């Protein structure tokens, strides 16, 4: 009754769902990061607002790192994160254009 192949398929389905959820979370965090980044540029003259926005950017960046680590992506430096985010954004824009 308990077929090992069913368990393998179940495991693969669970992994696929997990990966899809991670991708959605990461995409959402990237959108939030971009929004906060654009707002921080707008409010660069208002130090109080700017500091709050930079704090929020730092928190979102930490969450992005955590979720990417969960997805198996290694990030050593902030430059690595910036390059990866740029690549992800390019990929997301390219898939929207198709």
Determine contact, residues 29/63, Cβ cutoff 8 Å: yes
| Residue 19: domain span | 4-97
* Whole-number Å distance between alpha carbons of 81 and 85: 6
* Measured distance between the N- and C-terminal CA atoms of the chain, rounded to whole angstroms: 45
Mean pLDDT value of segment 55-81 = 84
Mean pLDDT of the chain: 81
Percent share of the chain, pLDDT over 70: 90
Structurally, how many domains does the chain consist of? 1
Determine contact, residues 36/53, Cβ cutoff 8 Å: yes
Mean pLDDT value of segment 2-11 = 61
Per-residue pLDDT reduced to its tens digit, 7-41 = 555 777 777 787 788 888 888 888 888 888 889 88
Predicted local confidence at residue 48, as pLDDT: 92
**pLDDT-derived band of residue 2, with 50, 70 and 90 as boundaries?**
low
């Amino acid at each position: 009754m308990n077929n090992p192949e069913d368990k393998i398929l179940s495991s693969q389905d669970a992994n696929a769902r997990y990966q899809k959820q991670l991708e959605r979370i990461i995409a959402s965090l990237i959108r939030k990061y971009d929004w906060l980044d654009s707002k921080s540029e707008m409010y660069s003259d208002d130090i109080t607002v700017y500091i709050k926005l930079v704090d929020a950017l730092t928190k979102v960046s930490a969450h992005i790192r955590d979720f990417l680590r969960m997805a198996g992506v290694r990030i050593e430096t902030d430059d690595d994160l910036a390059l990866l985010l740029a690549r992800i954004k390019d990929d997301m824009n390219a898939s929207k254009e198709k």
